[in-house]
Amino acid sequence: MNKYILDEAVQHFINDHLNKDVNKIALSKPVFEHINNRELANQITAKKKSSHKLPTWFNTGYIYYPALLSIEQCSSEPTAIYKSGLAKGSSLIDLTAGFGVDSFFFSKKMDKVTSCEINADLAEINAYNAKLLQANNINVLNTDGIAYLEHYEQVFDTIYIDPARRNQSNKVFMLKDCSPDVVQHNTLLLAKANRVIIKTAPLLDINAGLNELKNVSEIHILSVKNECKELLWVLDKDIDNESVKITCATLNDQGNKYFSFNLNEQQPAIEYADIHVNGFLYEPDVALLKSGAFNLIGSKYGLGKLHIQSHLYFSEEVKSNFAGRIFKIERILKVNELKKEKDLQGNVIARNFPEKAENLVKKYKIKPHQTQFLIFTQDKEGYKVIDAKIIQHY
């Protein structure tokens, strides 16, 4: 941690250059003594990236930013706020603190937070920023979190851990492929706390995670603006995997919405819809789709499903509590009728359709539109094109 970066003149320079070309800054002559320009460029880039993801940090003067990778990998404020509500008791240990975003929001709910970070530079930055943000109940330790648990007698009310994937490819992975290995340390974690919260990437298969972990009581699927951000696995000491509750949380500017069910809840039979003009088409948020509860989505919201594979739903009424987008149907066309259409306009969506959206745009010369959508899909009668106006966003 280069403390010269905290000088007033340097901080002014960073704020004044948030919209400048950082590559030019990095390659130009040194601006300040004791600070190389790559450090300056990193501070500028990291702060700018925090403007939407971490507004509390962005709007606080003299925050020290770590390497850009730490900003990219840390939780966003909406997801950190959400998971702070899952903590129980008064004491919590964050075993993999990183930049300290989760520790900070946990500190608003807990009396005491112990924040472990194995990287010395990151731990120093974490401790400095915590004091700057007046989170005085956070104790930052430069240590391996698992080793700390193994060698100290202290028991916490809640443990939080965000294991890193050893292989960062965009493929399905197992929890045993992460570090720390929460599967190997499952017993240790539950011996040191009544509740354990594990964050994983959304690519992790839910059934695979349940097979690897013991004492799972809840799984939370978090999305922000229809982008699935993380899975949260809640382990409780006095429970088994038989009564797991799944909660899909969609965290958006317009307000958060939730869809919950029990894993052992019987999936109802599919109710198929007869779609028609002036009815309403429903497209679930990705968090709901990740849950796999496709039939329950229809039954809980009172919607009919278009097709077993389409994952689009229909109702004659507007149900504004729905977690996803809603469209008012204005026309229903057969695909071969599009050739007769002139000046087609709309944002193209393809669901359970043999061609990709980008190819359909080119094929039918479809122009973009702010509120109009052309939805290529399949219902029980075959392929259809639904011309609809959006009335509810994610």
User: What is the residue-level pLDDT of the chain in tens, covering all 394 positions?
Assistant: 999 999 999 999 999 999 999 999 988 898 999 999 999 999 999 999 999 999 999 999 999 999 999 999 999 999 999 999 999 999 999 999 999 999 999 999 999 999 999 999 999 999 999 999 999 999 999 999 999 999 989 899 999 999 988 766 666 678 988 999 999 999 999 999 999 999 999 999 999 999 999 999 999 999 999 999 999 999 999 887 678 999 999 999 888 999 999 998 878 999 999 999 999 999 999 999 999 999 999 999 999 999 999 999 999 999 999 999 999 999 999 999 998 988 999 999 999 999 999 999 999 999 999 999 999 999 999 999 999 999 999 8
Instruction: Determine the pLDDT at residue 176.
Output: 86
The CA–CA distances, whole Å, from 283 to 109, 154, 181, 227, 286 equal: 35, 48, 36, 14, 9
294/326 same-domain check: yes
In this prediction the pTM is: 0.94
Instruction: Determine the pLDDT at residue 121.
Output: 96
Q: How far apart are CA 325 and CA 36, in angstroms?
A: 48
How many degrees, rounded to 5, is the angle at CA 10 between CA 6 and CA 11?
A: 65
Note whether residue 275 is domain-resident: no
CATH number for position 30: 1.10.10.1110
Instruction: Determine the pLDDT at residue 241.
Output: 67
154/216 same-domain check: yes
What count of other Cβ atoms lies within 10 Å of the Cβ of residue 392?
17
252/204 same-domain check: yes
9/43 same-domain check: yes
pLDDT in tens, 53-101: 999 999 999 999 999 999 999 999 999 999 999 999 999 999 999 999 9
Instruction: Determine the pLDDT at residue 168.
Output: 62
129/210 same-domain check: yes
79/7 same-domain check: no
Note whether residue 273 is domain-resident: no
Note whether residue 216 is domain-resident: yes
Q: How far apart are CA 91 and CA 84, in angstroms?
A: 12
Instruction: Determine the pLDDT at residue 243.
Output: 82
256/296 same-domain check: no
183/299 same-domain check: no
Strands 257-262 and 245-251, how do they pair?
A: antiparallel
What count of other Cβ atoms lies within 10 Å of the Cβ of residue 315?
19
203/288 same-domain check: no
Backbone phi and psi for residue 53, each to the nearest 5 degrees, phi listed first: -75, -40
Q: Three-state SS across the chain?
A: CCHHHHCHHHHHHHHHCCCCCHHHHHHCCCCECCECHHHHHHHHHHHHHHHHHCHHHHCCCCCCCCCHHHHHHCCCHHHHHHHHCCCCCCEEEECCCCCCHHHHHHHCCCCEEEEECCCHHHHHHHHHHHHHCCCCCEEEECCCHHHHHHHCCCCEEEEEECCEECCCCCCCCCHHHEECCCCCCHHHHHHCEEEEEEEECCCCCHHHHHHHCCCEEEEEEEEECCEEEEEEEEEECCCCHHHCEEEEEEECCCCCEEEEEECCCCCCCCCECCCCCCCEEEEECHHHHHHCCHHHHHHHHCCEECCCCCCCEEECCCCCCCCEEEEEEEEEECHHHHHHCCCCECEEEECCCCCCHHHHHHHCCCECCCCEEEEEEEECCEEEEEEEEEEECC
Q: Domain boundary residue among 262, 292, 321? A: 262
26/119 same-domain check: no
Instruction: Determine the pLDDT at residue 173.
Output: 74
Backbone phi and psi for residue 310, each to the nearest 5 degrees, phi listed first: -80, -35
What count of other Cβ atoms lies within 10 Å of the Cβ of residue 86?
17
Q: How far apart are CA 104 and CA 63, in angstroms?
A: 14
Q: Name the domain count of the chain.
A: 3
- Domain residues for 159? 74-262
127/197 same-domain check: yes
Residues in the chain: 394
Q: Domain boundary residue among 199, 228, 262? A: 262
Instruction: Determine the pLDDT at residue 166.
Output: 74
Tokens 């590559």, residue?
Answer: 23
Note whether residue 268 is domain-resident: no
Q: How far apart are CA 314 and CA 283, in angstroms?
A: 9
172/255 same-domain check: yes
**Angle (deg, nearest 10), helices 8-16 and 37-53:** 60
How many degrees, rounded to 5, is the angle at CA 161 between CA 159 and CA 163?
A: 160
Q: Domain boundary residue among 71, 101, 116? A: 71
Nearest to 135 by CA among 57, 204, 45, 27: 57
pLDDT in tens, 349-366: 999 999 999 999 999 999
What count of other Cβ atoms lies within 10 Å of the Cβ of residue 163?
22
Q: How far apart are CA 255 and CA 251, in angstroms?
A: 7
Instruction: Write the burial class of residue 113 (CB in 10 Å: 0-12 exposed, 13-18 middle, 19+ buried).
Output: buried
CATH number for position 168: 3.40.50.150
Which residues have a Cβ under 8 Å from the Cβ of 382 and sit 6 or more positions away?
A: none
